[in-house]
Each structure stands twice: as C-alpha cells, then as structure tokens.
Structure 1
Amino acid sequence: MKVMLVNGSPHKNGCTHRALAEVAATLDAHGIESEIFWIGAKPAAGCMACGRCRETGACIFDDAVNEFRVLAEQADGFVFGAPVHYAHAASSLMGFMDRLFYSNGKAGAPDVLSFKPAAAIASARRAGTTAALDDMQKFFTISNMPIVSSRYWNMVHGCTPEEVEQDQEGLWTMRQLGRNMAWLLKSLEAGREAGIGLPDREAGSFTSFIR
C-alpha cells in the first residue's frame, strides 16, 4: 500500500514539508510506503473550466497536475499539505487541486481519487489553519473520499522548519495522523479480502437552483 503526500508550498523544504515528513515517517514505520510530491514553485494557472479534460482525460495545462495524476493511480491514500496565506490555503495548492479534481476520471481516463482515504494538513505562523483545512477537505467530501483525522486539527506552527520542530503537539498530531491513515488503509484492505466491495454508485441527475 502507498500514500502520496502532496507538498503544496512554494518552498520545497519548508514547514509544510517538515509536517508531511513526520506523517511519512510514521507511515513507513507501520509498513505503508509513502512518497512526497512537490508541486513546484512555478506560477500555476487555476482551472479554466474549459472542458478540454472531457475530451482528452487530462488537464489542458500539461504540468505537475498531469504528472501527479499518473502517480496517483497507484496510490491508496493521499495527504495534501499547504501553508496558510491570508487565512486560507495557499493558492498554489488550491489551483493544483482545482484542476486535479475537476479533470479526474474524464474522457474514460481512470478515476484515481474516489474512495481513497485523504487528509489535509496546514502549516502557519499563527492563525488561519482551520479555514485552510476546510478549503482542502471540501475536495474530498465531493469526491467520495473518506477523510482521515487525527487527535487534533491537522496543523503545525512555525516560520521555519526549525521552529516547527519546537511544535511538539503539532508533530504529535502528524504522527497520529500517520497511524490513523495506516490503520484505515489496512482495514480497507482486510475488507476487500473479505469480499466487501465499493458502494454502488447511481447516475443521478445534475440540477441548479433554477430548475
């Protein structure tokens, strides 16, 4: 089993990476493979809702989003992490997630996200973490993805990785998140081995408030 951890910070080895590394180390200790994927520091466009992914199965912007989609197909769970900017999750990760989730499973391409457990983590100097977590978790709740929680909200504090080291409660929370993710993945695997399949999905219908 494998968990992909997404570093949505423009700083490859900053506070967000330090938090993700704590989760990854805990997953590894419990026999779950992990990989940290950095989305990069280049300016990234948000989703244009152009609909091209419905024709090609991939985002029209061929960058880290499409690169990650290939890796995500082999993943069993995800952790998305971002720093807090102006009391919300960094726009670099939000744009990445907008395009990843919008284009997921389009045009016959594999659905690489649904029914896979996911968690969000936030790093901040001081405040805005719970709003940032809410930003990220909305992607999971609209995508049939079980949310993995911890013993507290999934956050660390500090302006540098060295300061995050001093946030002992934050790192404790990251370790518990890793243990909870490992437990849920193993539970799901046991369910599959016992013959429990995925829930049925109905076609349903899409409406707006005017019809």
Structure 2
Amino acid sequence: MKRPTILLVNCSKNRDGNCGELLSSVAEELKKLEADTERFWIGADHITGCKFCHGCMETGRCVIDDRVNTFIEKATEADGFFIAAPQTRMTSNGSIDAMLERAFRAKLDAFRLKPYALVTLARRMSEDSGANRLSATIASAEMPMIGRKYWNLTGDGRDPRELFKNKSNVRELSSMVQNLLYFVRCIDVGCDAGLIRPSRAQTAFDPLDIFGTEK
C-alpha cells in the first residue's frame, strides 16, 4: 500500500490564524499515522470568480493565472483533502467560492471521488449555514465527505491557541483525521484489487466539448 498524501487547504486570509494552527495539528496527526501532507494557502489577495470562457477545457488550467492553478496542481497529486475555512457573518469569504468554482471547472478529475474533511471555524451560529453551503459546493465535484460526531469546531478570539483549550475540539479533530485516512486507504486498496472507477455523467452545467460531442 502506498503512502497517501493529504492536501491541507487553508482558506483563511490570515495564514497563521486559527485555520493555520488547526492544520498544523492535523499535519502532526497524519505524520503519526504514516501519511504525507502538502499545504495550500488561499492567499491574502482577492480571488476573482469564473469568467465562463471555457478556456480551461483543453489545458486543465484557468486562464486567470493565479493561486487557483497552484491549487489545481497540488490537488492533482493529492489522495484526499483536509479543508479549514473561517466563517464570518453567516458565511465564508467570496474567494473560497471563486477558487472552488474555477478549480472544479478547469480540472474536475483532480478532485472527483477523492474524500475530503471540512472544518469551519466561527462563532456560534455562523458555522451551520457556512458549513452547509461549502459542503454543497464541494459535493458538486462528486467528492465524498468525511463525517464525525460533531459538525464544526468553534474558535473564540484571535489567539489560535484558544482552539485547543476545548477538549471536545481535540477529540473531534483526531477522529476526523483518522476517518479521512481510513477512506483514502480503502480507495487505494480497491484500486489495487482492480475496482473500476465509475465514469462521469454529463450534466447541464458541463460544456458539451469535454465529452467529445459537438461544441
């Protein structure tokens, strides 16, 4: 069995904030479980949305050459994803949505059928709507979601260390990491056994030419 690679995705504009601290803890846990990690930070600059020009269809890269293409490159090599996203005013920042929309449209196969774990960090009620909306967006890429007993983690204040004072947070995070790695390894075992990956179905949202039909 190969050593899996998990891409840790920091969706916060503050690289060293709560999301960064959480992902560092995830990286340590994955190392103990004999898995490799790669990191991606969304960056401090704004990420613009998709232009729907379909220029990515032949290259697998977005025509807007920014961090989205870096995300696609790292995702291509990853076996699974651990995503940490901050929530403010009941939702996530627009750059997260723009990045996912463009990445999925440019190279869906870099993400499709790869499991992901999503943690949203917020203050109380902001978590629910933000987590649900992000999960729905990621599910549209046919990515299986890894669950756990409790949906979100709550980070109070600006000090990332506050996150781990809550023992429930620590337990849930460890459980989520183990669940993610279990499913990644199950997929690897299935592929080695000759299990054929299901083909992708065309939808009304896909440009016709990516299926070899008339443009």
Shorter-chain TM-score: what band? Answer: 0.7 to 0.9
Is the aligned partner of 1:43 residue 2:51? Answer: no
Distance apart, 1:87 and its partner CA: 0.7
Distance apart, 1:152 and its partner CA: 1.1
Is the aligned partner of 1:81 residue 2:84? Answer: yes
Distance apart, 1:55 and its partner CA: 4.8
Distance in structure 2 (CA, Å) of the matches to 1:34 and 1:55: 29
Give the match for residue 133 of structure 1.
131
Query: For 1:10-52, what per-residue CA distance to the aligned partner results, in whole angstroms no more than 9, with x for missing partners?
Result: 1001011122222222222111111221111012212232322
2:100–2:138 CA contact under 8 A, matched in 1: no
Is the aligned partner of 1:103 residue 2:82? Answer: no
Give the match for residue 158 of structure 1.
156
Structure 1 segments of 4 or more deviating over 6 A?
none
Gaps of 5+ in 1: 106-110
Give the match for residue 191 of structure 2.
192
1:119–1:137 CA contact under 8 A, matched in 2: no
Aligned-partner SS, 1:36: strand
Distance apart, 1:122 and its partner CA: 0.6
- One-letter code aligned to 2:192: E
| Normalised TM-score (structure 1) | 0.87
- One-letter code aligned to 1:138: A
Aligned-partner SS, 1:85: coil
Distance in structure 2 (CA, Å) of the matches to 1:152 and 1:19: 16
Distance in structure 1 (CA, Å) of the matches to 2:186 and 2:161: 35
Give the match for residue 8 of structure 1.
11
Query: For 1:56-106, what per-residue CA distance to the aligned partner results, in whole angstroms no more than 9, with x for missing partners?
Result: 43212211110121111110001222111111122222221121112224x
State the number of aligned residues.
201
Aligned-partner SS, 1:54: coil
Distance in structure 1 (CA, Å) of the matches to 2:167 and 2:13: 24
Gaps of 5+ in 2: 206-215
Identity %: 29
Distance in structure 1 (CA, Å) of the matches to 2:165 and 2:100: 30
| Normalised TM-score (structure 2) | 0.85
Query: For 1:109-138, what per-residue CA distance to the aligned partner results, in whole angstroms no more than 9, with x for missing partners?
Result: xx2111111121111133311211112211
Aligned-partner SS, 1:53: coil
Aligned-partner SS, 2:149: coil
Aligned-partner SS, 2:46: coil
Distance in structure 2 (CA, Å) of the matches to 1:96 and 1:81: 14
Per the alignment, do residues 189 and 54 of structure 1 end up closer, same or farther by CA in structure 2, a change over 3 Å counting? closer
